[in-house]
């Protein structure tokens, strides 16, 4: 396969070139990327949980949970929070439009769902803050 056959995807004239994308296109690309990331995460999640069957009484599972409660891992959890909330709220927007709800006010609906996302993400950040910065921030 020649590199040039991907021009429609990456080329300067492609619809995906950053300056050629409008809001709806960004929303769609974001939805697709977050969707694929979540599929990958499901497999990671299952492989973590599978440690429960490795040692009697779940010793390996507890050890792994100990590790994953370290600040670095919790910070990565926060990344997951952002990805899920964006995907869910934008998905909700897509479903509403398919049902014919809010199409006349497309722009408004987009920014309202994004505002709700932002609030939920801040809520998530507050909920895990003490795990990322156990000693508090000086």
* Interface residues toward other proteins, by CB under 8 A: 8, 32, 35-36, 38-39, 42-43, 46, 49-50, 52-53, 57-59, 61-62, 65-66, 69, 84, 88, 91-92, 94-95, 98, 127, 131
Minimum CB–partner distance for residue 64 and ligand HEM (Å) = 21
For residue 63, the SS3 value is: helix
Q: Decide: 27 and 89 in contact? Cβ < 8 Å.
A: no
Mention every residue, 6+ apart, whose C-beta is less than 8 A from residue 87: 31, 34, 35, 38
Minimum CB–partner distance for residue 25 and ligand HEM (Å) = 12
**Nearest to ligand HEM of 58, 91 (CB atom):** 91
Q: Decide: 73 and 67 in contact? Cβ < 8 Å.
A: yes
Minimum CB–partner distance for residue 11 and ligand HEM (Å) = 20
Residues between 81 and 120 with contacts to ligand HEM, criterion CB under 6 A: 87-88, 91-92, 94-95
Q: Is 40 in the site for ligand HEM (CB under 6 A)?
A: no
Rule CB under 6 A: choose which of 21, 30, 38, 58 binds ligand HEM. Answer: 38
What distance in Å separates the CA atoms of residue 51 and residue 4, rounded to the nearest whole number? 45
Q: Decide: 122 and 59 in contact? Cβ < 8 Å.
A: no
């Amino acid at each position: 396969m020649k590199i040039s056959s991907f021009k429609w995807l990456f080329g300067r004239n492609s619809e995906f070139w950053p300056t050629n994308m409008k809001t709806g296109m960004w929303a769609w690309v974001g939805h697709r990327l977050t969707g694929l990331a979540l599929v990958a995460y499901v497999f990671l999640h299952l492989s973590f949980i599978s440690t429960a069957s490795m040692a009697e009484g779940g010793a390996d599972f507890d050890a792994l949970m100990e590790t994953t409660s370290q600040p670095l891992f919790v910070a990565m959890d926060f990344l997951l929070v952002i990805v899920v909330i964006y995907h869910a709220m934008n998905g909700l927007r897509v479903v509403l439009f398919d049902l014919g709800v809010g199409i006349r006010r497309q722009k408004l609906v987009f920014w309202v769902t994004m505002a709700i996302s932002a609030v939920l993400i801040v809520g998530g950040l507050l909920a895990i803050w003490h795990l990322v910065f156990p000693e508090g921030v000086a």
